Structures are given as structure tokens and as C-alpha cells.
Amino acid sequence: MAVDVLLGLQWGDEGKGKIVDYLADKYDLVCRFQGGPNAGHTIVIGQTKYVLHTIPSGIFRSNITNVIGNGVVIDPITFKKELAKLDAAEVKYKKNLLVAKKAHLIVPTHRWLDVASEAAKGKAKIGSTLKGIGPTYMDKTGRNGLRVGDLFAADFREKYDALKAKHMGLLKGYPEVAFNIEEEEQEWFDSIEKLKEIPTIDCEYYVNQAIKDGKKILAEGAQGSMLDIDFGTYPFVTSSNTITAGVCTGLGIAPQQIAEVIGIVKAYCTRVGSGPFPTELHDDTGEKLRKIGHEFGATTGRPRRCGWNDIPQLKYTIMINGVTQLVITKLDVLDDFEKIYVSESYTIEGESNYQLPYDLNDSNIEPNYTEIQGWNSSLDQVESYDQLPKVAKDYIDKLEQMLDTPISMVSTGPERRKLLVR
Ligand code: GDP
Ligand code: IMO
Ligand code: MG
């Protein structure tokens, strides 16, 4: 069992990037297995902040190979920009970044369709990042997509034109939205030259050979389990399997290769975009969490909706993913809170519930909160788990007990070193 998985157990932005960057040192390979430029994974090293969208968060460790798996969708334009930022920071990636030939390509008209589809939905919009994720995965499952391997085919241009023609037909059925196709297309074709410079692999063979060779692999999830296409708050989800099962199809490995599943959870909860969020706070406390936690999207800059942790929701995603250990992030954001709350159950139509209902969207859900004492002091100088105030440890113990899963690490700041290992 050579593959460990790291993924978010809420609605994304749990702090996955920071934890992958920290853990990457213990692995030979870090692999993204799904999602695309809708992701924004922040890593703070020293004074510098990096946001990765498509590139795995192991890229800052020069001895580690980073794989963009076949389950990922790649926009060459975003990808080129990410590489340019790494170049500017003198991060060497030429020898340790690989791309799966079977990864699908986001073309400019995918993004256009994403924008038009959201415009057509009006008030019911998903709140998509508008990066073309939905339309690209639709073309993948609809068997129309273009893949990285196609970039090297003699008839690539014809394939591209056929897909574009199909999209132009579809766009006629949507409200008109502003989009400069000539400009976007020019940039896209310029950018694919950069993508073609990155070595491509048969991901399934590459990863399985690495396993045979005794290499240790970390699979890095994007988004969160509540945004999973099958098990999230459908239809307010993304278009890929963000859960552990997605690792098998997104890299080409068998389930029995998976060992540890590390679930990342914020000390509270956030969501960006539309859709249900039972423990969302619409008051000053929500605003305070957003302000102290700097809860603004790393990809779109949108304000994130904030609320308390939701135990039935977390138990659900722990179950689906087979989580073996938890990492709690952003504990420091709660430094200044007199009281902390977690929802232990829901009341739905007068009845207590410990499970998520079929459709969180139309349930009249009332969270039942448990009050927990805050520690009311700064965790800034805390350098080891033992040094945490007792009340903060009590919160961690309480979460661990309620979630029935060991908590192995606690994060107390965006920087690499602000991590307390238990
Ligand atoms: P990801 O998508 O799961 O990688 O998370 P994002 O990068 O979108 O959002 C997490 C944000 O929280 C980033 O701005 C991180 O720098 C920041 N962050 C991560 N861990 C901590 C922490 O323990 N404390 C604080 N205050 N910020 C953190
Ligand atoms: P990381 O990896 C938070 C949300 C969007 C929207 C829904 C669908 O940084 O945690 P899409 O663009 O996929 O069609 O959007 O999913 N979403 C995210 N929210 N973090 C992310 O990624 C997200 N990726 C997509 O806001 O509600
Ligand atoms: Mg993010």
C-alpha cells in the first residue's frame, strides 16, 4: 500500500495546499487526480505566498516528482501562467513535473459555455469559478473531449475545430455573454506550446511502476468532499469525484494500493458559491470569521461564506472517504472567540437527525449546537502541541471524540512551520 490520499472534507479551501507542501517531504511523488484551475491551493514559504491551480503542491520540494494525473482537466492558459510564476520565483520544475497524456484539455469555448450556462441558470446558478470545469468534464463523459496526448497528433487542429464548432452550436441556445474568442484562442494556442514542453506520461503505467519500485505517493485532492459530483450537495457541486474513489480513476491505480486517507478540516467551516450550508452564519460572528480567517477565494477572490463545524457533515465525508486521520487547520482564527460552537445533530421537521438528508437543498434544517469554551489567547508563539492552551486542546479532543477519528496535526498559521504534530 504505497499511496496516501490527502483531501478536503468540507466545501473546499480547507488548507490542503499547505499540508501537502509540508508532508511532501516524506514522499517521492505528489499527484493531483481530479479538478483543474477551479482549485486554488495556497502555500506560504517565508514571506512569499504562492497559489497553485493545476500544479501539485509538492512542486516546492526539488527532490519530489509532481504528476498531473489523467483525472485532471488542464487549461493551458492558466497552466502557462502558473509556470511563469514559478519561473519568476526561480522554482525549478523542469525535471520534476509530469503531465498525463489522458488528462483532458479545457479549450476557450469550454469557459465560454461555463459563463453562458451560469447566465442561463439565473438565480439558480451554481456559483461556478467559470474556469470551464463543467463543460470540459461533460465533453469527457460525452466522449467528445480533447486530451493532452492529442496535442501531438497531426490532426490536432481538425479535432480542435470540430469541438469548437460543436460548442458554437451549443452557445446559440444560451443567453449571449461577452467573450472575445479570437483573443482567447490566440492565447490558448500560444500556451499549448508551453504545455508541450512538459514531459507527458502514461500515468497509469508510470504510477504503477513507481509503486513497484517502492516509491511513496501522496495523492492531492482538490475541492472538498461536499462538492463531489455524486455525494456532494448536488447540483451545487463540481463535476469530478473529489473523494478517495477518484484517486483510482484519476491516476489509474487499484483501490488496494491506498493506505492512509488524510482528511483536512478547518476549525470552522466555509463555502464559496451557491448551495446549502446548514451551519452558515449570517451575522457578525460569520463576518468575524471571514475577516480574521481572510476568507476570500484563492482563485476568484469571492468572499467565502462562513459558519461553524458540522459534525453530521464531517462524519458523512469521513465515512465516504475512509478517512484514517484528520488535520485541523486555521485553529488560530478562533483565538479571539469567547465561545466556539459545533453542530452535533440537525432538527428536521421536529426530529433529531444525525445523518445528512437526501437533499440538503430542500430540507428545513436546524443545526443543534454544542457550546465549547474558547481559549481567548494568541496561538502565535505556540511551537508544539504540548504548548497549546488546555482549552484549545480540549476543543481538539472534543472534535476527535465526536468524529471518532484521530487528529494527527493542527495548523496554527498559513506558514509552513506553523504546524503542530501530535
Ligand atoms: P486549499 O484550497 O484547501 O489549499 O486552501 P486555500 O489555499 O484555498 O485556502 C486556505 C487559506 O488559509 C490560505 O490562504 C492559506 O494560506 C490559509 N491557511 C492555511 N492554514 C492556515 C492556518 O492554520 N491558519 C491560518 N490563519 N491560515 C491558514
Ligand atoms: P480548492 O481545491 C472551494 C466550487 C465553486 C462552485 C462549485 C462549482 O481550492 O479547495 P466549478 O468551477 O467547479 O464548476 O464550481 O464548486 N469550487 C470550489 N470551492 N474550493 C475549491 O477548490 C473549489 N473548486 C470549485 O465555488 O460553488
Ligand atoms: Mg482553495
Nearest atom of ligand 1 to the alpha carbon of 39: 2
Nearest Cα neighbor of 220 from 7, 43, 373 is 7
Q: How far apart are CA 328 and CA 14, in angstroms?
A: 9
pLDDT value at position 299? 83
Burial of 251: CB neighbours in 10 Å, binned 0-12, 13-18, 19+:
buried
The owner of cell 445533530 is: 345
pLDDT of res. 198: 98
Which ligand ends up closest to the CA of 236?
A: 2
Residue 417: other Cβ atoms inside 10 A: 11
User: Residue 47 in 3-state DSSP?
Assistant: coil
Residues of the chain with pLDDT under 50: none
The helix/strand count (H/E) of the chain reads as 11, 20
Block residue for cell numbers 462538492:
227
Instruction: Tell me what pLDDT residue 369 has.
Output: 98
Q: Which residues of 209-224 are buried (b: 16+ CB within 10 A; e: fewer)?
A: ebbeeeeebbbbbbbb
- Nearest residue (by CA) to ligand 2, atom 16, is 238
CB atoms near residue 91 (< 10 Å): 16
pLDDT at 340: 97
Cβ 129 vs Cβ 38: under 8 Å: yes
Q: Which residues are catalytic?
A: 13, 41
Residues with CB under 5 A from ligand 3 (ion): 13, 40, 298
Ligand 1 atom 10 nearest Cα: 15
Q: φ and ψ at 328, to 5 degrees? A: -100, 125
Q: How far, in Å, is the centroid of ligand 1 from the Cα of 313?
A: 20
Radius of gyration for the alpha carbons in the chain, expressed in angstroms and rounded: 21
Pocket test for ligand 1, best of 329, 336, 379 (most atoms within 8 A of CB): 329
The neighbour count for residue 405, using CB atoms within 10 Å, is 20
* Pocket lining: 38 vs ligand 2, CB cutoff 6 Å: yes
The per-residue pLDDT for 361 is: 83
- The residue whose CA is least distant from atom 6 of ligand 1 is 13
Q: Are strands 309-310 and 339-348 parallel, antiparallel or unpaired?
A: parallel
> Which ligand is the nearest neighbour of the Cα of 266?
1
Q: Which of 316, 164, 120 is nearest to 231 (CA)?
A: 316
The H or E element spanning position 210 is helix 203-212
* Cell numbers standing for residue 34: 481530479
CB-based contact 264:7 (threshold 8 Å): yes
Which atom of ligand 1 is nearest to 419's Cα?
A: 23
